[in-house]
């Protein structure tokens, strides 16, 4: 009798426990899913044997690379040049790029595709496509090409924001240096706001400097932050020996986004224009012309009906020969825009590159020895 009583109590306790468990399960099903931490614990894959010994930063690098590499492109271009005997010689070039949308648009450097007659794109999964040049902006060394994905699903890279970067933050570069496809290098943002002259009339404005290894073939590839977002386009290196010296430069992604939007929607990039031509002064020329300033841009010609003409800026009125050059003199001398000193054409090009068509700027000129400030509404080509 005593034994059967214990058995009865055990059965009752078991039944009560079963009822409570079913009620909790029913309540959870009715009122919502388990807490996110529980879901994460249930669904996060266990580290593979090769990942088990990695620290959090290494695991993050692996994750970012796996997510980004399929959308990073190896861009191969082919042109035909002619040798001394006028025989056609095929020339091949290579660089990198990255997919930015599901329409197959790929950002890269202008110098990667400059003069290309054919463009071949290989994505990270080794799928190959014929590339078409949508347009380019040589001033900023940016080009946009497009491939036909033919319905394939490739996740484009998310574009970040290059405005609030900090020196010291970690960055990752993916590209194809020397033809070695899908190569990852890491480093930090070494400096910000550099102006890097790439050619006579081209430069990288507000360049991101990094010590992540960038070599030939990395050009056009993405520079990523620790969230896997693109913050720049790798474009140039400082290489006194021909290989990386730990100083690379990237075009800010905000500049690239603006250029890409113009190319996709307009088919060309609009640049702010002043509507005036001139040449930089140097002290001896300024002295010979009896000018009140020794630095600035001597305005030689003003476009009729252009922004400068509408603002009242004057061009040269007569021609003189200085050395081996013919100059138009008698016009205004441009010395500043919005308070920023202008001493040469690069200064002017840089400032216009940072402006948009339709912006109003204050142009400081010297006329007959007197300074004048004139508001100018910039045009756009």
Nearest 5°: phi and psi at 169?
A: -75, 150
Task: Give yes or no: 111 in active site.
Answer: yes
Catalytic residue among 162, 219, 235, 355: 219
Residue 125 a catalytic site member: no
Q: What is the 3-state secondary structure (H, E, C) of the chain?
A: CHHHHHHHHHHHHHHHHHHHHHHHHHHHHHHCCCCHHHHHHHHCCCCCCCCCCCCHHHHHHHHHHHHHHHHEEEEEEEEEEECCCCCEEEEEEEEEEEECCCCCEEEECHHHHCCCCEEEEECCCCCEEEEEEEEEEHHHCEEEEECCCCCCCCCCCCECCCCCCCCCCEEEEEECHHHCCCEEEEEEEEEEEEEEECCCCCEEEEEEEECCCCCCCCCCCEEECCCCCEEEEEEEECCCCCCCCCCEEEEEHHHHHHHHHHHHHCCCCCCEECCEEEEECCHHHHHHCCCCCCCCEEEEEECCCCHHHHHCCCCCCEEEEECCEEEEECCCEEEEECCEECCCHHHHHHHHHCCCCCCEEEEEEEECCEEEEEEEECEEC
Beta bridge partners of 30: none
Determine which one of 96, 105, 111, 137 is catalytic. Answer: 111
Q: Which two tokens stand for residue 277?
A: 């031509």
136 among known catalytic residues: no
Which is the catalytic residue, given 137, 141, 332, 347? 141
How far is it, in rounded angstroms, from Cα 92 to Cα 297?
A: 41
| Catalytic site positions | 111, 141, 219
């Amino acid at each position: 009798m005593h034994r059967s009583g214990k058995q009865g109590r055990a059965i009752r306790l078991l039944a009560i426990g079963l009822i409570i468990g079913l009620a909790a399960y029913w309540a959870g099903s009715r009122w919502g899913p388990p807490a996110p931490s529980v879901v994460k614990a249930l669904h996060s894959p266990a580290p593979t044997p090769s990942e088990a010994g990695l620290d959090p930063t290494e695991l993050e690098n692996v994750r970012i690379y796996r997510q980004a590499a399929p959308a990073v492109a190896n861009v191969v271009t082919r042109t035909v040049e002619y040798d001394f005997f006028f025989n056609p010689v095929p020339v091949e070039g290579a660089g990198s790029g990255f997919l930015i949308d599901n329409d197959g648009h790929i950002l890269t450097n202008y110098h990667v595709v400059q003069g290309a007659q054919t463009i071949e794109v290989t994505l990270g999964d080794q799928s190959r496509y014929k590339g078409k040049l949508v347009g380019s902006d040589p001033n900023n060394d940016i080009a946009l090409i497009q491939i036909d994905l033919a319905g394939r699903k490739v996740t484009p890279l998310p574009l970040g924001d290059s405005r609030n970067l900090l020196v010291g933050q970690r960055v990752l570069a993916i590209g194809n240096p020397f033809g070695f496809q899908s190569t990852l290098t890491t480093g930090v943002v070494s400096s910000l706001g550099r102006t890097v002259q790439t050619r006579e009339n081209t430069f990288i404005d507000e360049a991101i400097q990094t010590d992540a290894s960038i070599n030939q073939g990395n050009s056009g590839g993405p520079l990523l932050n620790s969230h896997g977002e693109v913050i720049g386009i790798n474009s140039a290196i400082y290489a006194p020996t021909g290989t990386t010296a730990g100083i690379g430069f990237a075009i800010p992604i905000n500049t690239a986004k603006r250029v890409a939007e113009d190319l996709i929607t307009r088919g060309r990039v609009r640049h702010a224009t002043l509507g005036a031509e001139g040449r930089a002064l140097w002290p001896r020329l300024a002295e010979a012309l009896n000018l009140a300033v020794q630095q600035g841009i001597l305005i030689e010609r003003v476009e009729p009906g252009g922004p400068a003409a509408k603002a009242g800026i004057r061009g040269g009125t007569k021609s003189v020969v200085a050395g081996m050059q013919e100059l138009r003199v008698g016009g205004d001398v441009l010395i500043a825009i919005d308070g920023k000193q202008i001493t040469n054409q690069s200064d002017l090009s840089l400032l216009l590159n940072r402006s948009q068509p339709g912006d109003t700027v204050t142009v400081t000129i010297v006329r007959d020895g007197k300074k004048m400030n004139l508001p100018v509404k910039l045009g756009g080509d």
